[in-house]
A and B are shown apart, each in its own frame.
Chain A
Amino acid sequence: MSAEANIRTLTIDGADISARADQTILEAAREHNIAIPTLCHLEGLSEVGACRLCLVEVKGARRLLPACVTRVEEGMEVTTHSAKIDRYRQMILELFFAERNHVCSVCVANGNCELQNLALELGMTHVEIPYQYPQLPVDASHPRFTVDHNRCVLCTRCVRVCSEIEGANTWGVMGRGAQSLVITDLKEPWGESETCTSCGKCVQVCPTGALFEKGRAGTRTAKHPEFLPYLRIMREGDQP
């Protein structure tokens, strides 16, 4: 197949764009500086399509499609922002804030939080949906890190990075629905986990203050998940 056959042309928000056939709408849009909000997506990890913030309108499609997993197609007409999509995203974001105890002013990630940034980006000024105020545990048994379920958005980045990059498979999800929790091993305290290598990748990829390094506060809690794509490229380079 020639290189040309692998190129697709489409429009995103009216702009003509060309992309490789194996790219997603999200990748194509970001390459052209078109912003689509995401939360569960992280470059270097597999996609789960769970946060539903990247939903876009594709002309001819019956439903809204998640940009992170939808491949580009020839002649596709994508709309990333409309009154309807913006309203949906706002409500999804409110659902995130209301389901657990996201109180920014007393959070270690205040100022370095992707959820908080999304709220600013999407212009969310207040949450109309009633807060659930669930009683959730904090596990500080690990010598270096802490997991605070009150801040968790269940994006499963920690689960994916631990399985796909570190290969330790320490993190998992238990329970279902609103009772879901990310857990280490079979819900052992993190500090007693026999599989955890204490590599800290989960902490770096966590978008909120759910996973954080002990003894840091304020600006020093900034996370650095950008190592992932480099790691991927280096590993791919090693392969024959």
Chain B
Amino acid sequence: MNVEELQQIAADAEEKRGKFDYEVNVCMGTSCLAQHSERIREALAKEAEGCGKRCHVRRTGCMGPCAAGPMVLVEPAGTLYAHVGEHDAKDILESLGREPVARLDPRLGSYFEGQHFIVLENVGHIDPENVDEYVGRGGYEALVKALTEMNPASVIEQISKSGLRGRGGGGYPTGLKWDTVAKVKGAQKYVICNGDEGDPGAFMDRSVLESDPQRVIEGMAIAAYAIGATKGYIYVRAEYPLAVQRLTVALREARRRGFLGNAICETTFSFDIDIRLGAGAFVCGEETALIASIEGKRGTPRPRPPYPAVSGLWGEPTLINNVETFANVPPIIRKGGEWFSSMGTARSKGTKVFALTGKIQRTGLVEVPMGMTLRQIIFGIGGGVPDGHKFKAVQTGGPSGGCLPEEHLDLSISYDALISAGSMMGSGGMIVMDDTSCMVSVARFFMEFCMQESCGKCVPCRAGTVQMYELLTKICKGEATHRDLDQLTELCEVVGATSLCGLGQTAPNPVLSTLRYFRHEYLAHIEEKRCPAGVCACSAAEKPVAEEARV
């Protein structure tokens, strides 16, 4: 593979595209597939054969507005159809070149306003299992450029210049991490892609892997070149079967085209990737636990230092980044670090993909520039809270994050702003809650999650989350006193300060943030034995929920 060959593949893909006047792209993401979009694609393909128009029906990845699925995108007009059924195939094909089918209008309002696609630039336009279509849209240009025109140091320089920070939650500067691993001496270095997305309500990484897997592979290959690794692993949850299947095909295709394997681009650079499946433990998203899991050991974290950059997989220097981080790499190398750093805020650059869920009009996947306000995302893109209810809070950062109330809606999204408000960026889950949600029971839900997902290695997390969960249950049932609240606060402090890994250290965050902004709801449960949202059955003679949690 060299530049000419790459251009040839791109030109062939373009020529193939040119044979058709119309492209009908059917979403084959998990949520549309669940609504039988495969059957819709078959119906469309059947209609297309006999309609006499030069039309190509293509399977693509998630287009974003999942609540409106199954989605169909018609190009070149750019018409988006929502809630498409098999019986609509005929009308869609007939409308090509004419007026769009009015009844299938998605009525998305301002859903795409203000969104900026970098990570999601190809979604809806390419077949995730076809590597040539990815190349046709500029794919692997960055890898070939890095290998033929840049040395590893200048690749890292561009990543540093871009200001890209880890998209998995921590927000560690990616360039700095690469630089560290590059400088550590080691006979065998590794690149790991963390696709163990487990936050409740988060599906960004799943969508990226399902829709544009080549982008992640390209990002990893560039990283491997920059740090001097020859072997990579993608750690992806087994609960994402479609992502695993598409990745498997994508890896095979990338090898076939020579983007992976020996002597890539006729250089001395060799790199290959294997998939490792996570077995359903949230804690394996923590980097040291993930590494232990790849090694075939029990997935538990270990104290750092040594950091994986120095001693990671099998004791070798290891670079570990999140799916979305790697997905940002190819465009940065293609267009330069300065282009990327021109977007976003002072210390948070580029864009961020969020999974908008909960009590919101338009559920889906969105990508916005850093610095956009929560209000713009929730009320502009998401269309606000449905059914005349009132917005109460937005939860970001999953079980490590917190709930932000209405007065923080004008907060500009950045790593630092979210942390100072008591939440965090996390991997990008955004759960909107309205006045029917009880914040104590929300905190209890997240604590239950942490309790069940604690690995059990260190005692503050293992035993502390159980105690906090039981105190929250007590509050929800209207049986708690002020003393219980004090004990809960103290436990939050101790568990946060003394736990071994990020899971335990951040487990108290949902409690702390709801205590900070919704203390009155806690007090109503305690003093008035009343749940303001009407969710908790205070003082009801129901079976104690806590029983199940016990051994």
A50, B466: Cβ atoms closer than 8 Å: no
Q: Given A176-B281, A176-B455, are A154 and B303 also a contact pair (CB < 8 Å)?
A: no
Complex: A69 Cα to B470 Cα, angstroms: 32
Closest chain A CB from B22 CB (angstroms): 52
Query: Which B residues, 437 to 493, have Cβ-Cβ distances below 8 Å to chain A?
Result: 451-460, 462-467, 470, 487, 490-491
Closest chain A CB from B172 CB (angstroms): 13
Q: Is the interface of A mostly helix, strand, loop or mixed?
A: loop
Complex: A132 Cα to B497 Cα, angstroms: 23
Is B102 among interface residues, defined by CB-CB distance under 8 A?
no
Residues of the A chain whose Cβ atoms lie less than 8 Å from the Cβ of B491: 91
Residues of the B chain whose Cβ atoms lie less than 8 Å from the Cβ of A175: 456
B500, A178: Cβ atoms closer than 8 Å: no
Is B302 among interface residues, defined by CB-CB distance under 8 A?
yes
Stretch in A95-103, A140-148, A212-220 with 4+ CB within 8 Å of B: A95-103
Can you pick out 12 interface pairs between chain A and chain B where the beta carbons lie within 8 Å of each other? A50-B500, A51-B459, A52-B460, A95-B459, A95-B463, A99-B459, A132-B466, A133-B550, A154-B457, A176-B283, A177-B465, A180-B455
Complex: A109 Cα to B272 Cα, angstroms: 54
B458, A129: Cβ atoms closer than 8 Å: no
Closest chain B CB from A82 CB (angstroms): 12
Residues of the B chain whose Cβ atoms lie less than 8 Å from the Cβ of A88: 494, 497-498
B459, A48: Cβ atoms closer than 8 Å: no
Is A136 among interface residues, defined by CB-CB distance under 8 A?
yes
Complex: A66 Cα to B497 Cα, angstroms: 12
B459, A50: Cβ atoms closer than 8 Å: yes
A96, B499: Cβ atoms closer than 8 Å: no
Is A76 among interface residues, defined by CB-CB distance under 8 A?
no
- Residue from A55, A63, A96, A128 within 8 A of B463 (CB atoms): A96
Interface residues of B, count at CB 8 A: 34
Closest chain A CB from B495 CB (angstroms): 9
Query: Which B residues, 486 to 514, have Cβ-Cβ distances below 8 Å to chain A?
Result: 487, 490-491, 494, 497-500, 505
Residues of the A chain whose Cβ atoms lie less than 8 Å from the Cβ of B456: 154, 173, 175-180
B452, A177: Cβ atoms closer than 8 Å: yes
Is B520 among interface residues, defined by CB-CB distance under 8 A?
no
Closest chain B CB from A3 CB (angstroms): 24
Complex: A64 Cα to B455 Cα, angstroms: 21
A66, B454: Cβ atoms closer than 8 Å: no
Residues of the A chain whose Cβ atoms lie less than 8 Å from the Cβ of B454: 176-178
Complex: A173 Cα to B456 Cα, angstroms: 10
In the complex, which residue of chain B has the Cβ closest to the Cβ of A128? B487
Residues of the A chain whose Cβ atoms lie less than 8 Å from the Cβ of B457: 48, 50, 154
B451, A177: Cβ atoms closer than 8 Å: yes
A95, B460: Cβ atoms closer than 8 Å: yes
Complex: A128 Cα to B490 Cα, angstroms: 12
Query: Which A residues, 47 to 99, have Cβ-Cβ distances below 8 Å to chain B?
Result: 47-52, 55, 63-64, 66, 69, 87-88, 91-92, 95-96, 98-99
- Residue from A133, A154, A172 within 8 A of B462 (CB atoms): A154
